Structure 1
């Protein structure tokens, strides 16, 4: 199996609190990997470790054959990211905001136009960012992640705050990306119905621990074998998390 992102026993501790505990991910090249978990499960922390924004306490990871921390800069050159709500210079246009990122990354000027076209913002490129709607700001954030067409995208809640039409647009775009330019997408979202429509593989995190990793079909089979609801991704997810929470409470009583 050709894995482009591999983590081994990845762990992040903050004093007495463990945010991520021994997480081993296997993300296939060219796939869309849905990274799921309740608030505070450790998804964003895991993504920040992969981006070198916070160092692991223990464990290691490899991205496209490059090892952290020795190859940190080489890793970053291969990743486009969208973490939490993107921030922009309000008094610059969308095109100018992307050009700032382009210069930092040392990319050709044409990459800005390519990114605007990919997210459907070409006609709004000269509008000031402060006059963008929330949906347009999310798309501009995605355009920033897509600059230079990186082989790996790490997207944290890219549909946050969007209306149904905006969510549909972003989902359609993300789903098209692996075929469009052979990239791999790691995406977290609370919109489980959306993840179900676009993800090839799923990782479920709860209290920093990986409860499941595999395809959607594997997830349904696993749920059925465990006697859990398996009608849709949301049912499976909620059942799995509730079962884990119940087991935790029982262990805490012992």
Structure 2
């Protein structure tokens, strides 16, 4: 299967601190890829490099076989993103906030209503964003990422801070998107319990280094080989992280 995102030894250094250390990930077209790791592992920094928001110290990456930054504009036109907490104009409605994005991207007027319908916010389109609940704001953030139906979505901790009901709703929405729009999703989280319910493949990051990459079945096999139950992937995740932490002491 074709990889739509590939990073090759992607590295970001800040003076004496290495935030991302030679990370090489391979994301298959049409898959949901879970980028997993503790807070501060380097997930967001990696995503920002892929989005061109941060310049890598070294390494490179390809998006749909196009090398960044050679094809920067074309690459970015293929990606919708939600990085950290979504930010909107609080006194504008949800629809008005998306309308700004639509105009910037030169999309047809119908794309706003389509995006609101996809995330289940049509009934709240004319409500000011400041009156949205946290879950509704996350939905509006996802709507801003998928407006125009880009082939790649990058979502950074999209369920962060939500209650169980909100998490369940966002999870269902994300899981439905690849089949509905033939898109690929890269989603970061520090919760394996969330990732394993929606993702096809997983990359585990710790202290900026990629410790594991493979399918959920590969992770289950690794769990069994290390004496854990394959039904409880949380144990193998914590084992991998703890083992790496001990090596760094």
TM-score (norm 1): 0.96
Whether contact under 8 Å (1:139, 1:170) holds in the other structure is yes
Equivalent position of 1:135 in the other structure: 135
Structure 2 contact 94–129 (Cα < 8 Å) conserved: yes
Give secondary structure in 1 for the equivalent of 2:177. Answer: helix
Cα distance in 1 for partners of 2:6, 2:115 equals: 28
Q: State the secondary structure of the residue aligned to 2:203.
A: strand
Q: Which residue of 2 aligns with 1:47?
A: 47
Residue in 2 that maps onto 1:144: 144
Q: Are 2:7 and 2:24, in contact at CA under 8 Å, matched by a contact in 1?
A: yes
- Which position in structure 2 is the counterpart of 1:57? 57
CA contact (8 A) 1:228 1:240 kept: no
**Superposition pairs for residues 227-238 of structure 1, below 5 Å?**
227=227, 230-238=230-238
Instruction: Determine the structure 2 residue equivalent to 1:213.
Output: 213
Cα distance in 1 for residues equivalent to 2:136 and 2:63: 30
> Does residue 199 of structure 1 match 2:208?
no
Cα deviation for residue 94 of structure 1 reads 0.2
SS across alignment from 2:210: strand
Q: Do the aligned residues in 1 keep the contact of 2:6 with 2:27 (CA within 8 Å)?
A: yes
Report the Cα distance in structure 2 between the residues aligned to 1:179 and 1:17, rounded to whole angstroms.
40
**Native 8 Å contact 1:9 1:22 kept in 2:** yes
Deviation (angstroms), 1:178: 0.5
Q: Deviations over 1:177-219 (max 9, x none)?
A: 0100100000011232121111000000000000000001101
Partner of 2:100: 100
Q: Distance in 1 between matches of 2:155 and 2:229?
A: 28
1:50-199 alignment runs, 5 A limit: 50-199=50-199
What secondary structure does 2:34 align onto? strand
Determine the C-alpha separation between the residues in 1 that align with 2:106 and 2:123.
24
Unaligned runs of 5+ in 2: none
The 8 Å contact of residues 36 and 191 in structure 2, kept in 1 or not, is answered as no
Between the aligned partners of 1:218 and 1:182, the Cα distance in structure 2 is 25
Unaligned runs of 5+ in 1: 250-254
Cα distance, 1:229 vs. partner? 5.9
TM-score, normalised via structure 2 length? 0.97
Aligned-residue offset at 1:61? 0.2
Aligned residue for 1:252? Answer: none
- State the 1:224 CA deviation: 2.8
Equivalent-residue separation in structure 1 for 2:116 and 2:108 (angstroms) = 14
